[in-house]
Amino acid sequence: MSASKKNEGIRPQPIETMQGVTKKPQKKQESSKKKDSAVEVQESSIEKTEPTPTYAQPKPEPIDVKKAQDIIFAPNPGPQEDFLASNEQEVLYGGAAGGGKSYAMVADPVRYFNNGQSRGLLVRRSTEELRELISVSKQLYPRAIPGIKFMERDKTWVAPSGATLWMSYLDRDDDVMRYQGQAFNWIGLDELTQWPSPFAWNYMRSRLRATSASKLPLYMRATTNPGGPGHFWVKKTFIDPAPSNTSFHATDEHGEVIQWPKGHRREGEPLFKRRFIPANLFNNPYLAEDGMYEANLLSMPEHQRRQLLDGDWSISEGSAFSEFNVKKHVIPPYDIPDSWAKFRACDYGYGSMTAVLWFAVAPDEQIVIYRELYVNKTTASDLADMIIEIESGERIRYGVLDSSLWHNRGDTGPSLAEQMIQKGCRWRPSDRSKGSRIAGKNEIHRRLQIDEFTEQPRIVFFNTCRNIISELPSLPLDKNNLEDVDTKSPIDHGYDALRYGLMTRPRSSLWDYDPSTQRSGFQMSDPTFGY
């Protein structure tokens, strides 16, 4: 067991210092009664889970060692208890380093070991990484389940009841074929962000099944820290849809709730629920007690410190905009004065995603992103109707649209931009001159800085703009051109709209907009729109 994982839920010897973990007595004694709780793992394992407790829990009284000789593992109060008692189908546990993730993951399937029909699977990205989990399981399982055996060749635990837990790896997407035809009632993926895409997670969901006779729930469990190659998709799946420690209906890659299909007897109902349970070093008193591990985390570079110590999901390694900080750049909505200049920008795509952002310019030149619209498989004409309805009663100075939408469509009719303009949704083309991409990226960097006079960021986002807030800090740099973002990234639509808008060089001045007359000081034909 590595030093960084020491004491994550199980206290070492001696007995005198333990408050929930005791050495199994040498003489044979009767097993304690089985409890309908996931809080304690005893010699008789637990099959049934109760509803998730509230997050804010009082600290339990110290356990009397003499009266608790059968307790093998007692989770830390708070997040670790919540994870082991959660009843959502898919749960992610973790966030920061040192929160007891490995012990929580290994302890969770023990509740099913008395059911001979239980089939569990616990995987890491590689066999080398798997060794740590195997080591933790060898400390816990033989003490919790007398007679359980570990088959070294197959890396499988076999309980006396016949229940099994297979500990394996899943390195490449092709490795999912190793599990084709298999069925499990419990599946765990440790360090989920190590998988670059959601392919493995989604495929393994298809292996989640059990017979009705077993009466076993179907659970997928995962642990991770922020960062890693899969940072964005994990964040989009578990972090963005709902506040931490809140149960929510599972959503697809577009943020839509996944429902039973048309014609099904449960048509329109959500399929299942997810939950993210955050934990950090300070939720693990055993590891945080002497302060040494905290000191190690504090010594790391800022982006790693924010990830591992703070559990900050707003930043990922290799991010193009590592200076973005939710605490600084995201604010609650407020009523924007009518006198402020407003405009919009759009990156359109029918087959991918369309992103529209609305901008407001404060008197001190701060840009406020106060509204967003993300849609897919929407025609240009329908998009125009949506925008017009959203902007009803609002004065929008201008809109800027990807210049490629002015391309002539030949004999098929007007361009997509012209179709929207004909509807009354007016636009000007975005700047696509040589060097405009780099200039736009640099302008975003400038805006994210703190103004030395106002001591405020030059750009802020209403917290209702969840998509751009999620995307911007997760955008990766182009490895072949560190001056630009990765153009192959699937999450650059909001970024492009932001870049188009900021490159119009908006200003707040009486020349641009006179509140006394409610009239603009520029013409639609003005090439710089108010600069």
What domain range includes position 344? Answer: 326-520
Residues 281 and 370 grouped into a single domain:
no
Question: In sequence order, what are the beta bridge partners of 42?
Answer: 71
Q: Is 223 helix (H, G, I), strand (E, B) or coil?
A: strand
Residues 360 and 232 grouped into a single domain:
no
Half-sphere exposure in the Cβ direction for 128 (13 Å, CA): 1
Is 456 inside any structural domain?
A: yes
Is 45 inside any structural domain?
A: no
| Longest CA–CA separation in the chain, Å | 92
DSSP 319-357: BTTTT--HHHHEE---PPPTTSEEEEEEE--SSS-EEEE
For the chain, give the mean pLDDT.
76
pLDDT digits (tens, 9 = 90+) for 417-459: 989 999 999 999 998 788 888 888 889 999 999 888 888 999 9
CA 364/CA 337 separation, integer angstroms: 13
pTM over 0.75: no
Residue 218 contacts residue 210 (beta carbons within 8 Å): yes
Give the residue among 58, 57, 69 at the shortest CA–CA distance from 31.
Answer: 69
Distances (CA, A) of 519 to 53, 79, 191, 523: 57, 55, 56, 11
Give the residue among 296, 444, 241 at the shortest CA–CA distance from 359.
Answer: 444
Residues 383 and 250 grouped into a single domain:
no
Helix (H) or strand (E) holding 127: helix 127-144
pLDDT digits (tens, 9 = 90+) for 40-64: 444 433 344 344 343 343 444 444 4
CB atoms within 10 A of CB 306: 20
Is 57 inside any structural domain?
A: no
pLDDT digits (tens, 9 = 90+) for 343-380: 999 999 887 889 999 999 998 889 999 999 999 889 99
pLDDT digits (tens, 9 = 90+) for 451-503: 888 889 999 999 999 889 888 887 777 666 667 776 666 678 899 999 999 98
**Any idea which residue has 């310019």 for tokens?**
361
Residues 347 and 268 grouped into a single domain:
no
Is 168 inside any structural domain?
A: yes
Residues 383 and 243 grouped into a single domain:
no
Confidence bin at 523 (pLDDT 50/70/90): very low
Q: Which residues contact 286 (CB under 8 A, 6 or more apart)?
A: 7, 8, 9, 11, 76
Burial 252-275 (b: 16+ CB within 10 A, else e): eeeeeeebeeeeeeeeeeeeebbb
Residues 388 and 501 grouped into a single domain:
yes
Residues 345 and 296 grouped into a single domain:
no
Residues 107 and 201 grouped into a single domain:
yes
CA 519 distance to own-chain centroid: 44
Is 426 inside any structural domain?
A: yes
CA 531/CA 524 separation, integer angstroms: 13
pLDDT digits (tens, 9 = 90+) for 311-339: 567 666 567 787 888 889 999 999 999 88
Residues 282 and 365 grouped into a single domain:
no
Amino acid at site 509: S
Q: Is 501 helix (H, G, I), strand (E, B) or coil?
A: helix
Residues 105 and 230 grouped into a single domain:
yes
Residue 459 contacts residue 448 (beta carbons within 8 Å): yes
CA 530/CA 216 separation, integer angstroms: 65
Residue 122 contacts residue 113 (beta carbons within 8 Å): no
Residues 192 and 339 grouped into a single domain:
no
CA 144/CA 161 separation, integer angstroms: 14
Is 449 inside any structural domain?
A: yes
* pLDDT (mean) for 209-219: 79
Give yes or no for residue 80 having a pLDDT over 60: yes
Which of 64-68, 165-169, 355-359, 416-420 has the least mean pLDDT?
Answer: 64-68
Amino acid at site 340: W
Give yes or no for residue 184 having a pLDDT over 90: yes
CA 291 distance to own-chain centroid: 28
What secondary structure letter does DSSP report for 181? T
User: 232-235 long-range CB contacts below 8 Å, 24 or more apart?
Assistant: 232/316, 232/474, 232/491, 233/197, 233/198, 234/92, 234/192, 234/193, 234/198, 235/313, 235/470, 235/474
Residues 411 and 455 grouped into a single domain:
yes
Is 480 inside any structural domain?
A: yes
Is 35 inside any structural domain?
A: no
The domain spanning residue 235 has which CATH number? 3.40.50.300
Token pair recorded at residue 283: 């939720």
CB atoms within 10 A of CB 446: 11
Q: Is 107 helix (H, G, I), strand (E, B) or coil?
A: helix
> How many domains are contained in the chain?
2
The domain spanning residue 387 has which CATH number? 3.30.420.280
